[in-house]
Amino acid sequence: MDEIEVEYCTEADLDDPVFVEGLPGVGHVGKLVAEHLIEEADSTRIARVYSEHFPPQVGIDEDGVASLAHAEIYAIETEGRDLVVLTGDHQAGDSMGHYHLAAAFLDEAERQGADTVYALGGVPTGELIEEYSVLGAVSEESIREELEAVGVEFRSEEPTGGIVGTSGLLLGLGGRRGFDAACLMGETSGYLVDPKSARAVLEILQDRLNFEVPFEALDDRAEEMEEVINRLQDMEEAQSPGSGEDLRYIG
Amino acid sequence: MDEIEVEYCTEADLDDPVFVEGLPGVGHVGKLVAEHLIEEADSTRIARVYSEHFPPQVGIDEDGVASLAHAEIYAIETEGRDLVVLTGDHQAGDSMGHYHLAAAFLDEAERQGADTVYALGGVPTGELIEEYSVLGAVSEESIREELEAVGVEFRSEEPTGGIVGTSGLLLGLGGRRGFDAACLMGETSGYLVDPKSARAVLEILQDRLNFEVPFEALDDRAEEMEEVINRLQDMEEAQSPGSGEDLRYIG
Amino acid sequence: MDEIEVEYCTEADLDDPVFVEGLPGVGHVGKLVAEHLIEEADSTRIARVYSEHFPPQVGIDEDGVASLAHAEIYAIETEGRDLVVLTGDHQAGDSMGHYHLAAAFLDEAERQGADTVYALGGVPTGELIEEYSVLGAVSEESIREELEAVGVEFRSEEPTGGIVGTSGLLLGLGGRRGFDAACLMGETSGYLVDPKSARAVLEILQDRLNFEVPFEALDDRAEEMEEVINRLQDMEEAQSPGSGEDLRYIG
Amino acid sequence: MDEIEVEYCTEADLDDPVFVEGLPGVGHVGKLVAEHLIEEADSTRIARVYSEHFPPQVGIDEDGVASLAHAEIYAIETEGRDLVVLTGDHQAGDSMGHYHLAAAFLDEAERQGADTVYALGGVPTGELIEEYSVLGAVSEESIREELEAVGVEFRSEEPTGGIVGTSGLLLGLGGRRGFDAACLMGETSGYLVDPKSARAVLEILQDRLNFEVPFEALDDRAEEMEEVINRLQDMEEAQSPGSGEDLRYIG
């Protein structure tokens, strides 16, 4: 196997598509959006990307069949802009691997004719969220206005620590290679998988690219997460029975 | 020395052999089976594999003679299917090393004419085991039936975290290269070297490949482990004398 | 992208310049001096250095625009010796990266016609500092006298643990390549960003190279840090009210 | 700089020399012997070995002059067998670096005409030592007898965990390349720099190779260490005054 190996599945014939990345990260926001798009819209897998920078690992499916760690690229045709969606279960395990994989992903974006890249993710606030804002960062100032028009917020020097991993590099390397690249980051507590934050990012994406997918599946997952949180709170109360009432006020 | 260096010892002339891997891992299950096969069956060492991805280390034998960290490949002729058995004291120390070594092991499998790979290992349950099941995972669904026929269990999306290391990659890379690859994982507590779990895996392997080796040595090691566990429990009781009786109920 | 990529911005025409390095490190002393020089003197950015040895990360500016992790090189014309100043937000993340980047920085020094290198940094004392000494280390004993003449102190086998990272390698690799290289290390507690230590290093540099820049901005930052320290002490006192008076004596 | 770079200083004209390695390790036993030989015998530095596998670091000497991390090779003429002695302040920081550096050291041994390698080190016992035995390990059983004849002990499968780092690889890689290689390991508590253990190893080496150097300097260092240990014990007693007498029995 080469350092990075792209296995092509089906040829796609997309019209001026946008490259959308949703790999695992804070609150799994980006991955939730990407998976929702793949399930709810008219999607075709066009490639698998294998790499020795992914962990030496296989995943096991419902039939006991193993698949080597990889990322997947899907073509999605919409009534608005077409999409090329990158998702998967892993990010690179080392710094050099991050650079090489991000470069390979941009090669695939180019191959599909995309000149715009949206890297999706979450930005941790450390607190439970009432209203789910979406924070933006761009490769060039000229892209900012069209994103602000659909509700993306831009805040000076935020996120404070910059953007790390594939999303950051798609912005940084993508910008240097001439892509119009933006990162759309849903605010999320950072403690849990956050389908509500994913919905906020998806709404922005739909507005910007003029397509629509049903939200039900994402809302269902949000409800499941609510139940998980409630169960966790109940367990905590059960463990410290005397302080139960106080906890209800706080939580 | 090259990144990976294979030193051939004896030429083997095997008939349609199966490649069997048993390197160190959970409960040392895979390694116990591999070593037992090498000792109890008619085995010949055919190659040593050295690599700078193994730790920078030598082992010392009973005569004080050092040998550089390596893996070993043995040819075993049985009354059923012949075997090519890979074992050793080390796995790769880095992710890239895992990929490169697994690829080299598959090259050797190919060189010996094997088109089937069985990667042996343990799967941790976190509890003491009463009945030793063997969990399976396969590179293609078509292989599953013949393994279920000899008692291998398949459970949806288990092991939950996938399979990591050489066993995982032999399945993942092997499947991509056209091998029929399966992982056979003996259930084990995960806390101790587990000869009983190894025996369970070996029984499956014998049934599947129509050969037989005596179990005595493995049973003896199982008894030794029982004694170790008993001594550990005695020590624990001695340290908390008052709670001795209770512990007997728990342990 | 290559392993290391230098992107040239403006051509500079400097007269026998000195190469000055100020990357992040102990007390951020070196970086504070470098940034102060770039802001207060007549500076032009001449190059950006990108590398896969930097973290896979972008920084976000006040307009929400991302820039890929990089180091920057500035040309500064002064009334004394001209300067080529290297600064940035990152050091290499791995040992090999440190060696390769330091070599690339020396290539740029050579390209600008510099044959002298001053690596700026801090040396931790573990205590609050009254008088800010500047410790020196040199690639050749012949350079020592001219630095002692402007107040740099040399102490036998200090810093005890040697000098690690880019500053150390500019001295070590630079000396081997024929540069006159010195490391100027401001004493600093090591616990906080230290503009006072930076001022001490800057004064030495000015004396040695016959230029002058205003100190106000650095003094302002020093005052801000004083306030931060005071606030931290107040918070500590508030948390342990009974021991408040004692703390004032200690701090 | 290349991955590994050998800088030759003086040409040596040795007669059938033995290559002796003493890099930092358990109890600094190997390094103490190597340094003692270099200081007490008629030694000439013949090469410095630089490598990006050493830490990115310079050491500072008594004059404030920096030297890049490196290993050194000395030629020593004795009334018995001549020696080529390797020492330094660092081992490689990564597994691959260990393999590449050990190979480079063997190249230098070959270049000087050595066909025998003695890797010196310590073996930790976890207890204070009364009588300093020297444990041996060899690349070939045939070398064992001549070492037993001068008092080296061989114990089945000891050291239990094998031998790690440069010493281990000189044995493992050296043996594979046809060198007669042995590791001589002085028993040492493992907690402190141990000149007494170094003396024990040196005596063996002298007997085997028919040369003599004065021991005074090593004995002085041993006395200094005794004082350090006594001071540490006094400090411990001072901290727990009531239990002072008991401690004397234990220590």
Is C114 within 8 Å of C46 (Cβ atoms)? no
What band does D238 get if pLDDT is binned at 50, 70 and 90? confident
Residue A41 C-alpha, separation from nearest chain B C-alpha, in angstroms: 25
Residue B213 to residue B37: CA distance in whole angstroms: 7
D→B interface, C-beta within 8 Å: 92, 95-96, 98-100, 102-103, 136-141, 144, 154-159, 162-166, 168-169, 171-173, 175-176, 181, 183
What band does D171 get if pLDDT is binned at 50, 70 and 90? very high
Which member of A95, A141, A175 has the closest CB to residue C56? Answer: A95
For tokens 């049985």, what's the residue?
B78
What band does D240 get if pLDDT is binned at 50, 70 and 90? low
What is the residue-wise DSSP string for B85-125? EEEES---SSHHHHHHHHHHHHHHHHHTT--EEEEEEEEE-
Residues A82 and A192 in one domain: yes
Question: Model confidence over B136-176: pLDDT tens digits?
Answer: 999 999 999 999 999 999 999 999 999 999 999 999 999 99
User: C149 Cβ partners below 8 Å, 6+ apart?
Assistant: none
Residue D229 to residue D251: CA distance in whole angstroms: 10
Q: How many CA atoms lie within 13 A of B64 on its CB side?
A: 21
Subunits with 3+ Cβ pairs within 8 Å of A are: B, C
User: B159 Cβ partners below 8 Å, 6+ apart?
Assistant: A60, B123, B135, B137, B185
Stretches where chain C sits below pLDDT 70 are: 240-251
Q: Find, in chain D, the residue whose alpha carbon is nearest to that of B62.
A: D156
Q: Find, in chain A, the residue whose alpha carbon is nearest to that of B165.
A: A56
- Contact list in A for residue B154 (CB cut-off 8 A) is 63-64
Flag if A168 and C56 touch (Cβ within 8 Å).
yes
For tokens 């003599």, what's the residue?
D212
- Strand ordering across the sheet containing C66-68: A163-164, C57-60, C66-68
Flag if A62 and B137 touch (Cβ within 8 Å).
no
Q: Return the exposure string of D237-249: e unless at least 16 CB atoms fall within 10 Å of the residue's CB, then b.
A: beeeeeeeeeeee
Amino acid symbol at D136? G
Residues B140 and B205 in one domain: yes
Interface pTM (ipTM) of the complex? 0.91
Residue A147 has what DSSP assignment? H
Residues B19 and B103 in one domain: yes
Q: Is the pLDDT of residue D25 over 90?
A: yes
Flag if A165 and C64 touch (Cβ within 8 Å).
no
Residues C61 and C122 in one domain: yes
Residues D220 and D147 in one domain: no
How is residue B111 written in tokens? Answer: 């060189």
> How many CB atoms lie under 10 A from the CB of residue C239?
9
How is residue D164 written in tokens? Answer: 């790690």
Q: Return the exposure string of A113-152: e unless at least 16 CB atoms fall within 10 Å of the residue's CB, then b.
A: ebebbbbbbbbbbeeebeebbbbbbbbeeebbeebeebeb
What is the per-residue pLDDT for B235?
85
Number of residues assigned to chain D: 251
Flag if B60 and D96 touch (Cβ within 8 Å).
no
Flag if A58 and B137 touch (Cβ within 8 Å).
yes
Residue D211 to residue D82: CA distance in whole angstroms: 9
Residues B228 and B209 in one domain: no
Flag if B172 and A62 touch (Cβ within 8 Å).
no
Residue D219 C-alpha, separation from nearest chain C C-alpha, in angstroms: 25
Residue D237 to residue D244: CA distance in whole angstroms: 5
> How many CB atoms lie under 10 A from the CB of residue D190?
16
Residues A155 and A54 in one domain: yes
For tokens 């439970």, what's the residue?
A128
- CA distances for C181 relative to C48, C95, C152, C177, D69, angstroms: 22, 21, 14, 10, 16
Q: Is the pLDDT of residue D247 over 60?
A: no
Residue A87 to residue A74: CA distance in whole angstroms: 8
A→B interface, C-beta within 8 Å: 1, 50, 52-69, 93-94
Number of residues assigned to chain B: 251
User: Is the backbone peptide bond immediately before C214 cis, with ω within 30 degrees of 0?
Assistant: no
- Contact list in D for residue B50 (CB cut-off 8 A) is 176
- Contact list in C for residue D56 (CB cut-off 8 A) is 92, 95, 98-99, 102, 164-166, 168-169
State mean pLDDT over D97-114: 98
Long-range CB pairs of B223-229, under 8 A, 24+ apart, other chains included: B225/B192, B225/B193, B225/B194, B225/B195, B225/B196, B228/B192, B229/B192
Residue C99 to residue C169: CA distance in whole angstroms: 7
What is the per-residue pLDDT for B191?
86
Instruction: Specify the range with the lowest mean pLDDT, choosing from A111-120, B231-240, D70-79, D91-100.
Output: B231-240
Mean pLDDT by 10 residues, chain B (251 residues): 95 94 96 97 97 98 98 96 97 96 98 97 92 97 97 97 97 97 96 94 97 94 90 80 42 29
Residues C128 and C195 in one domain: yes
A→C interface, C-beta within 8 Å: 92, 95-96, 98-100, 102-103, 136-141, 144, 154-159, 162-166, 168-169, 171-173, 175-176, 181, 183
Question: Model confidence over A155-186: pLDDT tens digits?
Answer: 999 999 999 999 999 999 999 999 999 999 99
Is B159 within 8 Å of B123 (Cβ atoms)? yes
Q: Return the exposure string of C153-189: e unless at least 16 CB atoms fall within 10 Å of the residue's CB, then b.
A: ebeeebbeebbbbbbbbbbbbbbbbebbbbbbbbbbb
State which residues form the domain around A50: 4-214
Residue A11 C-alpha, separation from nearest chain C C-alpha, in angstroms: 27
> How many CB atoms lie under 10 A from the CB of residue B102?
27
Residues D152 and D241 in one domain: no
Residues D206 and D230 in one domain: no
| Total tally of structural domains belonging to chain A | 2
Residue D3 C-alpha, separation from nearest chain C C-alpha, in angstroms: 9
- Contact list in C for residue A140 (CB cut-off 8 A) is 65
The candidate with the shortest Cα–Cα distance to B84, out of B57, B54, B56, B105, is: B105
Mean pLDDT over all residues of chain D? 93
What is the per-residue pLDDT for A241?
57
- CA distances for D123 relative to B64, C115, D27, D229, angstroms: 14, 48, 8, 20
Residues C160 and C228 in one domain: no
CATH of the domain at B185: 3.40.50.10900
* Helix or strand run (H / E) with residue A119: strand A116-124
Residues B174 and B198 in one domain: yes
Q: Do chains A and D touch (3 or more CB pairs under 8 A)?
A: no
Residue D38 C-alpha, separation from nearest chain C C-alpha, in angstroms: 21
